[in-house]
Structure 1
Amino acid sequence: MVFSQIQKRLWQWASLLTLLFAGQLQANVLVSVDQNPAQTNQPIVLTVEVDQDLPADAFDASQLGEQFTLGRTSVRRNTQIINFDTRRTTVWQTVLVATQPGDYPIGPLTVGPFESQPFTLTVQAGANPNQSAPVEVFNSVSQSRAYLGQVLNYKVKLLIGAELQRGALTAPQLEGMSLQQIGEDKDTTEIIEGKRYRVIERNYALTLEEPGEYELPPAVFDGDIVVNSRSRDSLFAFNQSMPTRAEGEPLTLTVLDKPIDFNGPWLVSDMVVLQAVGDALPDSVEVGQPLNLNWQITAVNSDVNAIPEPQMELPGWVKRYPEKPQRNSAIRNEQLISQLTINQALIPTQAGELVIPDVELLWFNPHTKRAEVARLEGKTITVVAADGLTLPVEATVQPQPSSAEPSNLLPWQLASAALALGWLGHWLWWRREKSTESKAPARTAPKNDDLQRFHDACQKGQLGDALKLLTGAAAQVTGERQSLTQLRQHSPQLAKALDIAQAHTYSPNKSDSALDLMPLYQLVANLPKKAHSSATLAPLYPLSNKE
């Protein structure tokens, strides 16, 4: 009895499942196009609708074969409930483009476990293929013939005659070609033959890396436009999206190799300007004072990474501290403007004539097909020692001719004796005054604290303050004010320490690590003191020998 009841329940569940699966196996697959016959190079919207809730990958548009150019496929799901009766549908839409006229078989298409009925799509050659297209693509290049490495302006222009819901523009891709978007999109409005269009322009910098003939593919636009689904049987209007596709025309480019007689780094440009920026260089400068050289190279329609850095020969006694070059590019008047900015500091370490030579940059003009030179005039700068720190010049003592006239010795000896007695009395008075001063409290002379302040700056790692106090601290140790050039001559260790400190001052990465200044302080503190001359003064009145 119990077994019969269980068997009856199993038959009921099996019947219910059979009815459910039978409903799914009887799903309808409807495949349609928005136009038949269609025109060549016109977007054709293919719609696949199944009255089941299926996953998005249940339909694969690639089964249409290579007879069409396929665009993006979109999927949506609808659910309707009427009198407690639920109906679910899954809809795919994809864009087809036929480039040749003819009859094209569509289907049977497989959607999950279901198949559609086949039909034939007729494509005709249209007199004006883009007449009714909601989106049009126009692509162009500034020149069809260019040299190796020359930057061309590749422009894409979109004409949108419908309400655009979403879209994506795909730039052409080709081996051996560099294509980089420059600037922002330009969004405007134009009226063409009485119809308003939304116009979007995009610019690319196109560079070909190898010489030869190139077939450049067209730019392709894929997107969705909004269509009105107003129906006679409906009281309301619903806006739905429909996929669309448009593409431009392929282009042919010829790339020429660089001339064999061009000597130097290859730079091709419509125009190159080399100029100095910032403050002008002075006519004279002191030893140890930095000179700032700021150059700017501007190239029109040239790759910014292809601009070489000019070379300059300088004397060995000039220290050079360059910064990292800055490269920038922008679009102006539909031309690519590339700029290279070079900044460097020069520090002369000795007095003399510093000759900054002319700077030249060789480049190739594709319009004149000739090599040209961008030149920046040099300058001669006089390097002098610091004020008050010039080296002392020894005076040449000219011997005085001796008088040949005879003199009377007796008056002279009397005068010498009187003078000696006067000096003796003065010496006794000086001794008494000195003993009196020794008993009085001594007065402390003002103390020079440059060495202590220099020590504190070195201990704290304050490089700028330490360099400012260095000459004063050295003068306190040696008893003589000296320039940096003179201080270098004391020892190779001190010269090397000064070079390291100055290099760290003008280095672009000086903040990356701290510099230990205590070795520099030890070298300055141990400088030898100036030796005082032990030569005595000649007697004011030399005694003559008696005859």
Structure 2
Amino acid sequence: MASQLYSTITRHTTMLAILALLLCQIGSAHADTNVRASVDRNQVSSEETLILSLTADSILFSGEPDVSALEKDFHIINRQQSSRTNIINGKVNSSRQWDYTLVAKREGTLTIPALPMGKYKTRPITITVSQASQNRQSGNDAMYMESDVTPRSAYVQEELQYTVKIFTSVNILDASLDAPEVDNAVVEANGEDRYQTLINGRYFQVIERRYTLYPQTSGTLIIPALTLQARVEGYRPSMLDPGRLVVKRSSEHRVKILPPPAEFKGSVWLPAKEVALEENWSKSPDTLKVGDSITRTISIKAEGLLGSQLPALPSINLNNAKLYPDQAKIEKGDDKSQWTGIRSESLAIIPTRAGEFVLPEIRIAWWNTDTNKAEFAVLAERKFTVAPAVANGGTTQITAIDSPTLNTTPSQNDSALVTADNAEQQDTSFADRPNNNLLLWGVIALLLLSNIGFAAAWWRGRQRTFVAVTSPENNSNNENKAFKLLEKSLKTKIDHGELRRALTQWGQCYFKRTMTLSELGKAIPELSDFCQQLDAHLFSGQELVVDTDAILSTLKKVRSAGATKPTQAALAPLYSR
């Protein structure tokens, strides 16, 4: 009895297992029938479109299909979505459909892969893509594309001109043409033209787009075919409806890219049609004086290269001038037929000592792609003579910014008096000449005025000396006022030019002599770096960070250390007689 019961239970269990397996298979088959993929045709040319439709029951799938796998072999140029609801015998059945308009990226046998839709997948579909008809040159086709690349062989980083032309004899309502994507190359758009041409007695509107390519590695450069997507009106009205989507493709191109030749010895590889160096000055360098600021701008111009490909100019050092370089400026020339790269570098120069200074020759090696030879762009050496600084008011001359000296300018009155005293002995007949009497009296009047001016200057000097010696509190008051202005300028950080003036004004009051910012940095070594950075910022726009607390702390220490020093004798040498 027990064995019979065991046999019955075992038999029922086996049947249930088989039934469950069958139900799973039925459910799986049912799922496949409710997630479907289909196409309107399986054979197309490379310029024709096909429509892929994905359908799913709303109960089984409520999201969006993942169609990213299509982009390997197809362009997705349009997407549409629709839904449908059917009621049969009171039973509601809802479904959704996604339609994708596709264009093949290449010829051959392609596969639309299985696409995931939630936990389900569609079945793969095979598509055969044939070559498009070649009747474009005859002018029988109302729309077609042409493309060309020159040269067919080039060096690494040499300019390639890639041109795409769209010919159409019908009105284009809308069109899309992506820029070429080329592996191992830099692609730059170089303009577009529109014009008309006559082919076999038929006028075509031509849209021409130009691109400049710069290959980055040697070997074979592949420029893939471009795909034009357009909606046209009245295009072959007997065959196409108005507004129908039209797809056209250009040809694929292959270019042989060569490495730089072994005979080129330059440090930077520059393959170009022409490379030149140009120099410009903010003012004439032949009239330079100590302390003047002048800006020299050098431009490298290269036909057939990008500005970013051009090298930085070699740095220079001058012992008798301070140099403040500005950031390089990259530009493009105006010639639409080719790319002209321009790199401009500006250098502010401030002579610090009188005499001659020399700007060395600049040589840049480049490879002439027309002659296939190495050449040099040269900017010749320049020599200039720097004159001493012009005295202000005839009393002070700064002979060098780094180490200035303050001198009283020798008065010309003494020599003038000697000349006047000897004039009568040298030429006793001068006064007897009627035509020269007025000139003689003019000279005498000038000499008298010079003596009066000299006496007034001498008297003012004595007065200033007297005030400086007897009233030191005036200097202290001036220094305090100057320091307060400097402190305010540091804290506001509004105008760096005003900060420079406040620093030099305080320095003149504290050290009691005319002082430049460079001299102040030497007098207070802790401020030397900041003074140089401030000058560089004002002359060339270099970044400046003002540490207000550190600068004020340094200045207060200097003032505190110098509080017990004598102050009355500092100006005496300027006015003593």
Q: 1:125 to 1:190 in 2, by over 3 A?
A: closer
Residue 471 of structure 1: how far off its partner (Å): 5.8
Of 163, 169, 185, the match for 2:172: 163
Who is 1:145 aligned against? Answer: 153
What is the CA–CA distance in structure 2 between the aligned matches of 1:317 and 1:142, rounded to whole Å? 51
Of 21, 41, 50, the match for 1:46: 50
Matches within 5 A, 1:55-454: 57=65, 70-72=74-76, 74-76=78-80, 91-96=99-104, 99=107, 126=133, 128=135, 135-160=143-168, 161=170, 163-174=172-183, 177-188=184-195, 190-212=197-219, 214-226=220-232, 241-242=244-245, 244-329=247-332, 332-368=335-371, 369-385=373-389, 387=391, 388-389=396-397, 391=405, 392=407, 451=479, 454=482
State the AA in 1 paired with 2:162.
Answer: Y
State the AA in 2 paired with 1:508.
Answer: G
Q: 1:31 to 1:296 in 2, by over 3 A?
A: closer
Matches within 5 A, 1:517-532: 518=552, 519=554, 526=562, 529-530=569-570
Is the contact between residue 475 and residue 509 of structure 2 (CA under 8 Å) also seen in structure 1?
Answer: no
Is the contact between residue 195 and residue 205 of structure 2 (CA under 8 Å) also seen in structure 1?
Answer: yes
Q: 1:449 to 1:267 in 2, by over 3 A?
A: farther
The reply to whether residue 508 of structure 1 matches residue 541 of structure 2 is: yes
Match of 1:248, SS?
coil
What is the CA–CA distance in structure 1 between the aligned matches of 2:67 and 2:505, rounded to whole Å? 86
Q: 1:378 to 1:75 in 2, by over 3 A?
A: same
The reply to whether residue 458 of structure 1 matches residue 486 of structure 2 is: yes
Match of 2:278, SS?
strand
Listed as ranges, the gaps of 5+ residues in structure 1 are 1-21, 396-441, 538-547
Match of 1:530, SS?
coil
What is the CA–CA distance in structure 2 between the aligned matches of 1:488 and 1:89, rounded to whole Å? 79
Match of 2:538, SS?
helix
Residue 338 of structure 1: how far off its partner (Å): 0.9
Residue 27 of structure 1: how far off its partner (Å): 12
More displaced 10-residue stretch of structure 1: 519-528 or 41-50 = 519-528
State the AA in 2 paired with 1:167.
Answer: S
Match of 2:48, SS?
strand
Is the contact between residue 227 and residue 242 of structure 1 (CA under 8 Å) also seen in structure 2?
Answer: no
Is the contact between residue 534 and residue 544 of structure 2 (CA under 8 Å) also seen in structure 1?
Answer: no
* Offset from partner CA, 1:186-210 (integer Å, 9 cap, x none): 4555554454544333333312223
State the AA in 2 paired with 1:374.
Answer: V
Who is 1:13 aligned against? Answer: none
Is the contact between residue 44 and residue 97 of structure 1 (CA under 8 Å) also seen in structure 2?
Answer: no
Q: 1:279 to 1:186 in 2, by over 3 A?
A: same
Is the contact between residue 172 and residue 216 of structure 1 (CA under 8 Å) also seen in structure 2?
Answer: no
Residue 301 of structure 1: how far off its partner (Å): 0.8
Is the contact between residue 181 and residue 205 of structure 1 (CA under 8 Å) also seen in structure 2?
Answer: yes
Who is 2:17 aligned against? Answer: none
State the AA in 1 paired with 2:541.
Answer: P
State the AA in 2 paired with 1:181.
Answer: E
Q: 1:228 to 1:206 in 2, by over 3 A?
A: closer
What is the CA–CA distance in structure 1 between the aligned matches of 2:298 and 2:513, rounded to whole Å? 41
Is the contact between residue 55 and residue 98 of structure 2 (CA under 8 Å) also seen in structure 1?
Answer: yes
Q: 1:46 to 1:228 in 2, by over 3 A?
A: farther
Residue 296 of structure 1: how far off its partner (Å): 1.8
What is the CA–CA distance in structure 1 between the aligned matches of 2:505 and 2:110, rounded to whole Å? 96
State the AA in 2 paired with 1:380.
Answer: F
Is the contact between residue 142 and residue 235 of structure 2 (CA under 8 Å) also seen in structure 1?
Answer: no
Is the contact between residue 181 and residue 187 of structure 2 (CA under 8 Å) also seen in structure 1?
Answer: no
What is the CA–CA distance in structure 1 between the aligned matches of 2:362 and 2:193, rounded to whole Å? 39
Residue 90 of structure 1: how far off its partner (Å): 6.4
Is the contact between residue 224 and residue 244 of structure 1 (CA under 8 Å) also seen in structure 2?
Answer: yes
* Offset from partner CA, 1:115-157 (integer Å, 9 cap, x none): 99x9998968956367665653322223122222222222222
Residue 178 of structure 1: how far off its partner (Å): 1.8
Q: 1:379 to 1:452 in 2, by over 3 A?
A: farther
* Offset from partner CA, 1:253-280 (integer Å, 9 cap, x none): 2324233342332222211221123523
Q: 1:520 to 1:152 in 2, by over 3 A?
A: farther
Residue 336 of structure 1: how far off its partner (Å): 0.5
Q: 1:278 to 1:222 in 2, by over 3 A?
A: same
Q: 1:491 to 1:200 in 2, by over 3 A?
A: same
Q: 1:522 to 1:282 in 2, by over 3 A?
A: farther
* Offset from partner CA, 1:179-230 (integer Å, 9 cap, x none): 3233454455555445454433333331222333x14233321424247799
Q: 1:517 to 1:457 in 2, by over 3 A?
A: farther
Q: CA RMSD in A?
A: 5.5
Is the contact between residue 227 and residue 249 of structure 2 (CA under 8 Å) also seen in structure 1?
Answer: yes
Residue 485 of structure 1: how far off its partner (Å): 7.0
State the AA in 2 paired with 1:158.
Answer: I
From the CA coordinates, give the structure whose radius of gyration is larger.
1
Is the contact between residue 271 and residue 299 of structure 1 (CA under 8 Å) also seen in structure 2?
Answer: yes
What is the CA–CA distance in structure 2 between the aligned matches of 1:352 and 1:524, rounded to whole Å? 37
Higher relative contact order (CA 8 A, sep 6+): 1
Q: TM-score, normalised by structure 1?
A: 0.63
Q: 1:97 to 1:193 in 2, by over 3 A?
A: farther
What is the CA–CA distance in structure 1 between the aligned matches of 2:266 and 2:106, rounded to whole Å? 51
What is the CA–CA distance in structure 1 between the aligned matches of 2:539 and 2:41, rounded to whole Å? 71
* Offset from partner CA, 1:156-192 (integer Å, 9 cap, x none): 2233456353424251422xx2232334544555554
Listed as ranges, the gaps of 5+ residues in structure 2 are 1-29, 86-93, 399-404, 411-469
Match of 2:206, SS?
strand
State the AA in 1 paired with 2:178.
Answer: L
Match of 1:505, SS?
helix
* Offset from partner CA, 1:351-405 (integer Å, 9 cap, x none): 433322333322221222122223155231415245222544999xxxxxxxxxx
Q: 1:30 to 1:373 in 2, by over 3 A?
A: closer
Residue 453 of structure 1: how far off its partner (Å): 5.6
* Offset from partner CA, 1:272-306 (integer Å, 9 cap, x none): 22112352343244444333222222111113222
Residue 334 of structure 1: how far off its partner (Å): 1.4
What is the CA–CA distance in structure 2 between the aligned matches of 1:457 and 1:379, rounded to whole Å? 42
Q: 1:467 to 1:349 in 2, by over 3 A?
A: farther
Q: 1:454 to 1:192 in 2, by over 3 A?
A: farther
